[in-house]
């Protein structure tokens, strides 16, 4: 049966709307990026300039890093899409205190592949800290000398150059998570922190989304059998969950507000322009695979204190992974990979 002209016109209009909707869905990331550049980029850059805090650069000890270390190489890396290293420092300090770096994650970023390798160093790892007479916990490097000494300590420990750092106070994440409507966390059993020497809280399992307070307590939780290794794994999951939620197209309009909320809780030596370019490159990708590994070892008492003693064989494997991931000519599928923490995508 033939449709009337009015019905045919209506059907054609509906088909056109559906088609435009499908096209719009397919290009929503490009549209969002264009809108971000138009309305928010300058505001975000101005805010990031307040977080830009460069540090003195020093070459790592041991000569294990064979890549060029000339001044300016790290800035050129982001511009050309070359892999680079980033030391992510996370603290849980209150107020203006510097505190220790409860989280130390050596990250290899491959912008062309939109992929990252995360290697977590347990905070109690016993290492030599430049300028200190006795070996100490690696987390204390940040307390003694801020991000500069933390970077230098990790470089000496792993024998690789750290191109950049990013320091984040997890306290700043509470309001960020509430602003984006909560995040998903794989909590299958209530987390009960009730040791007399610890802060008391309970994080209920099975919630569809977790607010800022619960998410922060998820990172802080200390009383499971896995100890520091489990806590480090939760930190990785926590960061991945925020990346997943923040990369949703609907959250882009909130980026300036989120950066304002972070305020003094975030510092990095990546130039604002480079940081924006890197973020845009990563977000344009359909997938952002993240592979994570926590340095293996054993905890024991030494010299009257509890330390984590890194397994030398595992540490050597980690070094080989980092060197492989820094090879710009290598294909992602050929690189050695630890456990995959997640794959963020549209």
pLDDT digits (tens, 9 = 90+) for 258-281: 777 777 788 899 888 888 777 777
HSE at residue 147, side-chain half, CA atoms within 13 A, is: 26
Lowest mean pLDDT among 24-38, 66-80, 195-209, 297-311: 66-80
* Percentage with pLDDT > 70 across the chain: 69
pLDDT of residue 249: 52
- Token digits for 157? 């420990």
Average pLDDT over the chain, rounded to an integer: 77
Which helix H or strand E contains 340, and what residues bound it?
strand 339-345
CB 116 within 8 A of CB 109: yes
What SS3 state is found at 107? strand
User: Which alpha helices (H) appear in 247-310, and where do they start and end?
Assistant: 255-262, 272-284
18-27, 69-78, 302-311, 337-346 — most confident range:
302-311
pLDDT of residue 41: 64
Does 47 or 339 have the greater pLDDT score? Answer: 47
Domain residue spans in the chain?
7-39, 40-345
Rounded Cα gap, residues 177 and 173, in angstroms: 6
Lowest mean pLDDT among 4-8, 141-145, 298-302: 4-8
Closest CA to 293 of 330, 319, 332: 319
The predicted model gives 11-26 an average pLDDT of 46
pLDDT of residue 222: 77
Closest CA to 279 of 18, 16, 29: 29
Q: Domain 40-345 adopts which CATH fold?
A: Aminopeptidase (3.40.630)
pLDDT of residue 247: 67
CB 120 within 8 A of CB 296: no
Closest CA to 89 of 142, 40, 132: 142
The predicted model gives 161-180 an average pLDDT of 86
pLDDT digits (tens, 9 = 90+) for 245-258: 876 655 556 667 77
- Token digits for 337? 């990979």
- Token digits for 309? 């003693």
Closest CA to 276 of 26, 30, 32, 40: 40
Can you point out the beta strands (E) in 65-125?
84-91, 103-110, 115-120
Helices (H) and strands (E) in the chain, counts: 11, 13
pLDDT of residue 221: 86
* pLDDT exceeds 60 at position 97: no
- Compute CA distances 19 → 7, 12, 14, 74, whole Å: 18, 10, 9, 45
The predicted model gives 200-213 an average pLDDT of 94
pLDDT digits (tens, 9 = 90+) for 70-94: 344 444 444 467 899 999 998 766 5
pLDDT of residue 18: 43
Lowest mean pLDDT among 122-131, 134-143, 199-208, 257-266: 257-266
58 confidence band (pLDDT: 50, 70, 90) = low
Q: Could you give the angle at the alpha carbon of 251 between the alpha carbons of 245 and 253, nearest 5°?
A: 160
9-13, 114-118, 221-225, 246-250 — most confident range:
114-118
């Amino acid at each position: 049966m033939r449709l009337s002209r009015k019905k045919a016109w209506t059907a054609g209009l509906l088909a056109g709307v559906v088609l435009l909707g499908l096209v719009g869905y397919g290009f929503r990331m490009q549209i969002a990026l264009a809108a971000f550049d138009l309305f928010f980029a300058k505001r975000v850059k101005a805010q990031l300039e307040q977080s830009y805090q460069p540090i003195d650069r020093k070459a790592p000890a041991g000569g294990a890093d064979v890549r060029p270390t000339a001044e300016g190489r790290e800035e050129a890396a982001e511009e050309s899409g070359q892999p680079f290293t980033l030391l992510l420092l996370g603290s849980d300090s209150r107020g203006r205190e510097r505190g220790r770096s409860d989280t130390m994650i050596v990250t290899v970023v491959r912008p062309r592949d939109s992929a990252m390798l995360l290697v977590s160093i347990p905070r109690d790892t016993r290492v030599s800290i430049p300028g200190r007479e006795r070996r100490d916990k690696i987390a204390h490097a940040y307390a003694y000398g801020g991000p500069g000494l933390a970077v230098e300590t990790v470089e000496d420990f792993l024998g690789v150059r750290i191109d950049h750092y990013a320091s984040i106070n997890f306290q700043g994440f509470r309001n960020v998570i509430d602003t984006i409507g909560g995040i998903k966390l794989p909590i299958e059993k209530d987390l009960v922190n009730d040791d007399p020497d610890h802060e008391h809280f309970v994080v209920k399992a099975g919630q569809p989304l977790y607010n800022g307070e619960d998410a922060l307590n998820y990172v802080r939780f200390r009383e499971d059998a896995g100890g520091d290794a489990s806590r480090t794994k939760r930190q990785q999951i926590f960061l991945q969950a925020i990346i997943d939620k923040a990369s949703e197209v609907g959250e882009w309009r909130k980026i300036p507000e989120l950066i304002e909320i972070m305020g003094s809780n975030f510092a990095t030596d990546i130039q604002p322009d480079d940081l924006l370019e890197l973020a845009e490159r990563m977000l344009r990708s359909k997938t952002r695979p993240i592979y994570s590994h926590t340095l293996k070892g054993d905890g024991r008492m030494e010299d009257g204190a509890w330390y984590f003693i890194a397994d030398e064989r595992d540490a050597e494997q980690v070094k080989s992974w980092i060197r492989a991931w820094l090879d710009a000519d290598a294909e992602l599928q050929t690189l050695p990979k630890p456990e995959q923490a997640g794959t963020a995508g549209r």
